[in-house]
């Protein structure tokens, strides 16, 4: 490793990942864009992960290994990587996943051409334990759509993101260690409070699904974290919103359908959703794409009211939505194939 600062700092947290680690590391080392440092933080692994990291470090000095004392969690390990990163851009990566060879070149070209975009993600394809291709996950495209989505969920696939290190330095951004899960969504939310975001429609990463991956091991605490993070995002992004914290939390719980009981509160809580949308519109009146987003918002509002069926307060909720946008049935019909494809209705 020379003293020259690389263009990209790749930050990866690793914990007991020996099974897929070599393949994942190699997917970075064969990138067509070679101007990077690869910071691999071993979070107190008890398997052979550290030995694997050192083996690759011996043959490629772009790898900068860091070992933490004991398992401190992915947020703390990620922060250790951020603190030592030297690149203009910071790219994230998980220890189970595979970056495609043109990932960095594609993302750097976009960021160089779009200096107002501070954080960039991409589409990714799911694979199973054997590497067999499964499905391509849907993503949100466009800065305005991303800023609407981050009020309710993470709009960027964390293993695919790359962001400007200047944001980390200027605002002293770090991963929140109080979130055992969800720290990535919280970090991306705080980035989006500061800058524009975008997703590339091209698949740039293979995301591995297996029994120990986070997708299969979510808990009630994870959902509570997501609700807290999304509520924090609403309050921070829309400070003039005239809705109580309790109502925001109740809407987040209902809209995510955490329980069958909470789903049946969607119609009753529809005024909260409409107030969030009104505040968002006021904040983004001059932004292009607001008309297109409006179609999505009211189609989604109608879906929340009509599913599950026979909720209390349906007629009142439909009347409120109709007063605000009488074309909602057309919008809902237009989005119905999308909802059916995602099994959301």
pLDDT per position as a tens digit, 160-185: 999 999 999 999 999 999 987 899 99
Cβ-based burial of 157 (10 A; exposed 0-12, middle 13-18, buried ≥19): buried
CA-CA distance, 287 to 272, in Å (whole number)? 23
What interhelical angle do 270-283 and 290-306 show, nearest 10? 170
Domains and CATH numbers, the chain: 8-216 (3.90.550.10), 238-341 (no CATH)
Per-residue pLDDT of the chain (345 residues; tens, 9 = 90+): 456 899 999 999 999 999 999 999 999 999 999 999 999 999 999 999 999 999 999 999 999 999 999 999 999 999 999 999 999 999 999 878 999 999 999 999 999 999 999 999 999 999 998 889 999 988 999 999 999 999 999 999 999 999 999 999 999 999 999 987 899 999 999 999 999 999 999 999 999 986 655 554 455 678 889 999 999 999 999 999 999 999 999 999 999 988 889 999 999 999 999 999 999 999 999 998 999 999 999 999 999 999 999 999 999 999 999 999 999 999 999 988 877 776 544
- Concatenate the DSSP letters of all residues of 123-173 into one string: EEEEE-TT--EEEEPP---SHHHHHHHTTTS--S-GGG-EEEHHHHHHHT-
DSSP 8-state code for residue 215: G
CA-CA distance, 68 to 84, in Å (whole number)? 14
DSSP 8-state code for residue 68: -
Instruction: Tell me the C-alpha to C-alpha distance, in Å, between residue 103 and each of 63, 159, 166, 185, 250.
Output: 18, 11, 21, 21, 39
């Amino acid at each position: 490793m020379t003293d020259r600062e690389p263009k990209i700092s790749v930050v990866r947290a690793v914990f007991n990942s020996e099974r897929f680690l070599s393949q994942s590391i190699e997917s970075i080392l064969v990138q067509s864009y070679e101007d990077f440092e690869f910071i691999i933080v071993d979070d107190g692994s008890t398997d052979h992960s550290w030995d694997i990291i050192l083996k690759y470090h011996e043959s490629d000095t772009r790898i900068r290994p860091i070992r933490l004392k004991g398992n401190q969690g992915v947020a703390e390990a990620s922060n250790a990587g951020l603190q030592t990163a030297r690149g203009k851009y910071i790219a994230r990566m998980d220890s189970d996943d595979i970056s495609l060879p043109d990932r960095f070149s594609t993302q750097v070209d976009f960021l160089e051409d779009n200096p107002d975009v501070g954080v960039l993600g991409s589409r990714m394809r799911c694979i199973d334990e054997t590497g067999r291709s499964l499905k391509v996950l849907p993503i949100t495209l466009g800065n305005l759509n991303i800023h609407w989505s981050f009020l309710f969920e993470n709009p960027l696939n964390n293993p695919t993101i790359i962001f400007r290190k200047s944001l980390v330095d200027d605002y002293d951004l770090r991963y929140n260690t109080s979130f055992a899960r969800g720290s990535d969504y919280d970090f991306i939310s705080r980035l989006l409070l500061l800058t524009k975001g975008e997703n590339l429609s091209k698949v740039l990463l293979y995301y591995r699904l297996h029994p120990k991956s986070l997708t299969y091991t979510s808990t009630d605490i994870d959902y509570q974290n997501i609700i807290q993070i999304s509520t924090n995002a609403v309050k921070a992004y829309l400070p003039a919103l005239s809705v109580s914290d309790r109502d925001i939390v109740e809407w987040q719980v209902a809209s995510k359908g955490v329980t069958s009981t909470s789903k049946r509160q969607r119609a009753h809580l529809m005024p909260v959703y409409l107030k969030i949308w009104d505040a968002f519109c006021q904040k983004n009146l001059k932004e292009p794409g607001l008309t297109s987003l409006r179609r999505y918002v009211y189609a989604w509002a109608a879906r929340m009211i009509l599913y599950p069926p026979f909720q209390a307060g349906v007629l009142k909720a439909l009347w409120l939505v109709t007063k605000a946008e009488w074309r909602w049935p057309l919008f809902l019909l237009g989005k119905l194939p999308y909802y059916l494809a995602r099994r959301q209705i």
